[in-house]
Structure formats: structure tokens, C-alpha cells
């Protein structure tokens, strides 16, 4: 069957690197067998999307998923966009408060709430708000323990039973990029918001994250252009937006009825697509150069970052993952775990394992910051 854009149905699509079938990697660092990367740019509306990956099986996938961040109630993804690292949930809450002043009471719904990290920060400051949330994965068990008085369901957004115009604020953090049709979720939120209600979104900024082309479960590769076009088509006005490191934060207000068509942003997105495809290919080449240099010298090599490119590299480049001495990461929540059968740890692993070569599998936004941290270790660094 010929691929179609999930938003507008067009078959006028441009191909984007890489095209791959086999074992893929998800954003949750999970292995996805018998999958594909089939990245496309819709020429009719401008959506950048993966026609393969978890498409068609996303609901079943998320019901079963349980990633490293969900194994402990205390584990948290870190944000490095501010002056000092804090949890991503706390930074996300801070940005919402910067974008708007909320009343002392109201009703909030979080879509795909995970363990409720954001909801915890929100309710700590907004005691008068009534909370509801749903989560399809087994993280729901932790969510239920943390918020026994909230309205909670283990389900997908399409199965959440709520009346129209029920909420003052809806929140979707790291969710929109996973759904089959992002416009459909935006319209769903529009229906369930009260008049002038707010929808707060956080998604990976594809413009800052070329490695997302290797991610099998980010079905949409969203830019600010795409978000603004889709949001206005769904009946929202953009109140505020902020780019902070890799994520984009957008606050929307319900203003009217959805429109029949989204504005075409294909030309605006084309430059990002071309640039990111070049950088993504270069990032994979850097990992390959690192591996070959380590092989030639008989020295161990590591990959810094738990991004899709580093985890996907053994499958895409066809080498034994056992050759990777370790994955390096600054988030202590991931240390001690195993990915591709390899250990994960901090920079102390460099000395411990005698690592001499390190490839970067992170957003280019963080290249200079990480290279400065690696400099005292005297390793050869490979990057896009």
C-alpha cells in the first residue's frame, strides 16, 4: 500500500534518510524487532513523519512498554537547558508558570501522564485544582499510588471517557510525537477544553534533534512551523512558545471551531529536513569512524548519550554491540542498567574501562558542552 500523510491523506511525499527495515530503537531505549524507518515529508501540508516504526501498532506497544525511567518512582529524565540540571518535569512546570498566570482553582487533565512527575509539581503549587490523568503503559501503577484521589484511567486518549468542555487545562508532554495523527489529538483536546481553555504541549524539536530520524516510535517529527499550523487548524491560538534545548514548549488557547485544512508548511520545513538528514548521516558516520579507529588501535570505545543513533548504530551499521565498551550518560537514573547488553555509566567509566575513543550520540545543541566535559579525559571525540 502506498504511504499516505496521516494528517491530510496526501500521497505526494518526499523521502528522507534513512530508509531501513529490521531491528529499530524507540525513544524509550527499547528494541523493536521487524520494524522500519520510512521517514517522509508531506508536500501538501508539510508534516514530517515516519510511515513505519510503531505506526499501526502504537496502542499495543505502549500498553506493554516499561522503560528505564519507569522502573523506579524516583527516576527522572534530566533537563540541561537551564543554568543547572533539574528534572525535565520540574523544568516543564517552571516554563508553564512563565507562560501564563493560572487561577487558584480549576480542572487539569494530563494526557499520557507517565508516573505523574509533572502532575506532582503542578498540584504542589495549585492545591485548589482537580486533577485527572490517563496513561496506557504500566507506569499507570505508579501514577495510581501517587494520586489516589485523582480521576485516573489506564487507557489511550481515544478511550478516555469524559464529557466535552470538561477541563480548564490539558497537558500533553512528550505525547503528540507518538500518536498516529497529531491533528486528531489536537482536535480531541479542543473538544474537551472549556471555552478559552489552555492546552500545554512539550515535544522534541526536530529542528534541534537530527537523531530523531533514527527513532522508530516518534511517528511525527515536529517543528514549530508544524505545531503552529496544526494547532490553528484544530481551533487554537498560540499563546506562547519556547525552545529550550531540544524540546519545544507551546501553550495554546481554544478560540473557535477547527478549520478544514492546515496551512502548508512544507517549504518552511524542507530546509530543516535537508539539514537534519545531512547531520544524522554524519552522526552515524562518526560512530562508524570511532568504532573503526578503536578496532585499528585495539582500544575500547564508548558512545556518549542514550539517543537513538547510538543505540541503533549496531543494527544499522551491522557490527556486534559487544564491541561497545559502555554507553556514557550524565543521568544517574540510567547508570548500572544495560543497553544492547552493554553497561551504562558516568564519565568515570572512561578511566575504569580504559576508553580512548568516544562517539557522540546526542543533539548538536549539546556538542560543545559535552566536548568540554570530555576534554580532561584525553579521549578522541567523534561527532557529526
* DSSP calls for 267-336: HHHHHHHHHHHHHHHHHHHHHHHHHHHHHHHT--EEEES-SHHHHHHHHHHT--GGGEEEEE-S-GGGTT
Closest to 354 (Cα-Cα) out of 296, 301, 293:
301
Residues 292 and 157: their CA atoms lie apart, in Å, by 46
C-alpha cell at 371: 566536548
Q: What is the enclosing helix (H) or strand (E) of 197?
A: strand 193-204
Residues 176 and 380: their CA atoms lie apart, in Å, by 38
The 8-class DSSP code of residue 165 comes to T
C-alpha cell at 295: 578496532
Angstrom CA distances, 129 to 32, 90, 105, 124, 357, stand at 39, 18, 5, 10, 51
Residues of the chain with CATH 3.40.50.720: 269-382
Reported as half-sphere exposure (CB side, CA atoms, 13 A), residue 305 has a value of: 28
C-alpha cell at 203: 515535544
**Residue whose entry in the numeric block shows the C-alpha cell 485527572:** 132
Residues 316 and 325: their CA atoms lie apart, in Å, by 18
CA 104 from centroid of its chain's CA atoms: 31
Task: Note the pLDDT of residue 223.
Answer: 98
Entry field: residues in the chain: 384
Residues 327 and 304: their CA atoms lie apart, in Å, by 6
Residues of the chain with CATH 3.40.50.150: 68-264
CA angle 195, 199, 205 (to 5 degrees): 155
Task: Note the pLDDT of residue 184.
Answer: 98
Residues 79 and 88: their CA atoms lie apart, in Å, by 5
Assess contact for 218 and 209: CB atoms under 8 A: no
Residues 286 and 303: their CA atoms lie apart, in Å, by 10
Q: Is 169 exposed, middle or buried (0-12, 13-18, 19+ CB in 10 A)?
A: buried
Residues 74 and 148: their CA atoms lie apart, in Å, by 18
Task: Note the pLDDT of residue 85.
Answer: 64
Residues 277 and 134: their CA atoms lie apart, in Å, by 35
Structural fold of domain 68-264 = Rossmann fold (3.40.50)
Tell me the Cα Rg of the chain. Answer: 21
Residues contacting residue 143 through CB under 8 Å, at least 6 positions apart: 113, 114, 115, 116, 133, 135, 152
Task: Note the pLDDT of residue 336.
Answer: 84
For domain 269-382, the question of CATH label 3.40.50.720 is answered with yes
Closest to 107 (Cα-Cα) out of 123, 121, 94, 92:
123
Closest to 156 (Cα-Cα) out of 223, 266, 58, 79:
58
Assess contact for 109 and 162: CB atoms under 8 A: yes
Q: What is the mean pLDDT of each run of 10 residues along the chain (384 residues)?
A: 94 98 93 95 99 83 53 45 71 97 97 96 96 94 94 94 95 97 98 98 97 97 98 98 94 96 97 98 98 98 95 97 96 83 95 98 95 98 97
CA angle 107, 112, 114 (to 5 degrees): 105
Amino acid at each position: 500500500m502506498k504511504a499516505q500523510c496521516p494528517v491530510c491523506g496526501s500521497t505526494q511525499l518526499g523521502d528522507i534518510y534513512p530508509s531501513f527495515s529490521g531491528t529499530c530503537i524507540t525513544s524509550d531505549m527499547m528494541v523493536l524487532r521487524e520494524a522500519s524507518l520510512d521517514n517522509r515529508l508531506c508536500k501538501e501540508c508539510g508534516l514530517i513523519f515516519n510511515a513505519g516504526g510503531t505506526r499501526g501498532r502504537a496502542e499495543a506497544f505502549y500498553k506493554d512498554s516499561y522503560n528505564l525511567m519507569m522502573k523506579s518512582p524516583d527516576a527522572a529524565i534530566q533537563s540541561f537547558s537551564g543554568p543547572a540540571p533539574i528534572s525535565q518535569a520540574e523544568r516543564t512546570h517552571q516554563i508553564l508558570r512563565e507562560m501564563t498566570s493560572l487561577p487558584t482553582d480549576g480542572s487539569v487533565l494530563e494526557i499520557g501522564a507517565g508516573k505523574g512527575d509533572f502532575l506532582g509539581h503542578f498540584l504542589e503549587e495549585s492545591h485548589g485544582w482537580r486533577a485527572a490523568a490517563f496513561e496506557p503503559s504500566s507506569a499507570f501503577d505508579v501514577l495510581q499510588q501517587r494520586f489516589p484521589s485523582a480521576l485516573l484511567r489506564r487507557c489511550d486518549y481515544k478511550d478516555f471517557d469524559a464529557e466535552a468542555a470538561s477541563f480548564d487545562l490539558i497537558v500533553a508532554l512528550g505525547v503528540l510525537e507518538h500518536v498516529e495523527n497529531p491533528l486528531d489529538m489536537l482536535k480531541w483536546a479542543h473538544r474537551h477544553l472549556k471555552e478559552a481553555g489552555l492546552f500545554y504541549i512539550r515535544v522534541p524539536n526536530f529542528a534541534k534533534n537530527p537523531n530523531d530520524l533514527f527513532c522508530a516510535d516518534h511517528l511525527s517529527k515536529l517543528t514549530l512551523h508544524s505545531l503552529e499550523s496544526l494547532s490553528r487548524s484544530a481551533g487554537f491560538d498560540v499563546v506562547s512558545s519556547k525552545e529550550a534545548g531540544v524540546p519545544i514548549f507551546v501553550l495554546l488557547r481554544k478560540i473557535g471551531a477547527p478549520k478544514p485544512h492546515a496551512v502548508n508548511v512544507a517549504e518552511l520545513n524542507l530546509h530543516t529536513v535537508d539539514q537534519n538528514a545531512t547531520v544524522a548521516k554524519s552522526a552515524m558516520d562518526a560512530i562508524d569512524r570511532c568504532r573503526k579507529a578503536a578496532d585499528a588501535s585495539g582500544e575500547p570505545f564508548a558512545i556518549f548519550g542514550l539517543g537513538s543513533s547510538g543505540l541503533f548504530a549496531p543494527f544499522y551499521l551491522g557490527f556486534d554491540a559487544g564491541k561497545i565498551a559502555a554507553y556514557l550518560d550524565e543521568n544517574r537514573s540510567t547508570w548500572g542498567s544495560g543497553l544492547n547488553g552493554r553497561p551504562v555509566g558516568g564519565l568515570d567509566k572512561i578511566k575504569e574501562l580504559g576508553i580512548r575513543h568516544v562517539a557522540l550520540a546526542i543533539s548538536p545543541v549539546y556538542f560543545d558542552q559535552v566536548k568540554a566535559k570530555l576534554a580532561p579525559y584525553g579521549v578522541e571525540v567523534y561527532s557529526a
